[in-house]
Amino acid sequence: MFFKLLSIFLIIPIIELYLLIKIGGVIGALNTVLIILITASLGAYLAKSQGFRVLREIQETMSRGYMPGNELLHGFFVLVGSFALLTPGFLSDIIGLTMLIPRMREIYVEFTKGIIRKKIQSGQWQMRMYTNFR
């Protein structure tokens, strides 16, 4: 767990900074800033449109009487992808953009479902159903 947190809060920002400096040296500082602003704007637009789409899918699934498990995972990745696109950096922009494209996001959802499935089967996580409705 320590190494995961270390990579998130130390290694990834160092990679982002390195890429910003290298790419800025090739295309120029102004172009780099423009790309960052464009991807942030694109991220805000995609976050809004995909967020509303996922919210509508959650409502439709619940109206049919089902638990919106897949839809909630899609919503989670739309949120994470939005934050990644709003964060300055090329690596985070690529990751964020893939999370906001529905077909690409499906890869993240299926991967996450596989992890959850393995944790439940190994007994690391437990599922309980509460059916005491009043």
The pTM of the full predicted model, rounded to 2 decimals, is 0.82
Tell me if 129 is assigned to some domain.
Answer: no
Looking at every residue in the chain, the average pLDDT score rounds to 89
To the nearest 10 degrees (0 to 180), the angle between helices 69-86 and 90-100 is: 150
Amino acid identity of residue 85, one-letter, is L
Tell me if 27 is assigned to some domain.
Answer: yes
Tell me if 132 is assigned to some domain.
Answer: no
Query: How far is 84 from 37, CA to CA, in rounded Å?
Result: 13
Q: What are 64's two structure tokens?
A: 């049919």
Q: What angle do CA 96, 36, 54 make, to 5 degrees?
A: 30
Whether the per-residue pLDDT at 128 is higher than 80: the answer is: no
Query: How many domains does the chain contain in total?
Result: 1
Tell me if 32 is assigned to some domain.
Answer: yes
Query: How far is 103 from 110, CA to CA, in rounded Å?
Result: 11
Give the structural domain span for 37. Answer: 2-122
pLDDT in tens, 57-74: 999 999 998 889 899 999
pLDDT in tens, 75-117: 999 999 998 988 888 999 999 999 999 999 999 999 999 999 9
Tell me if 128 is assigned to some domain.
Answer: no
Tell me if 131 is assigned to some domain.
Answer: no
Tell me if 127 is assigned to some domain.
Answer: no
Tell me if 134 is assigned to some domain.
Answer: no
Task: Output b/e per residue, 66-103; b: 16+ Cβ within 10 A.
Answer: eebebbebbbbbbebbbebbbbbbbbbbebbbbbbeee
Query: How far is 89 from 96, CA to CA, in rounded Å?
Result: 10
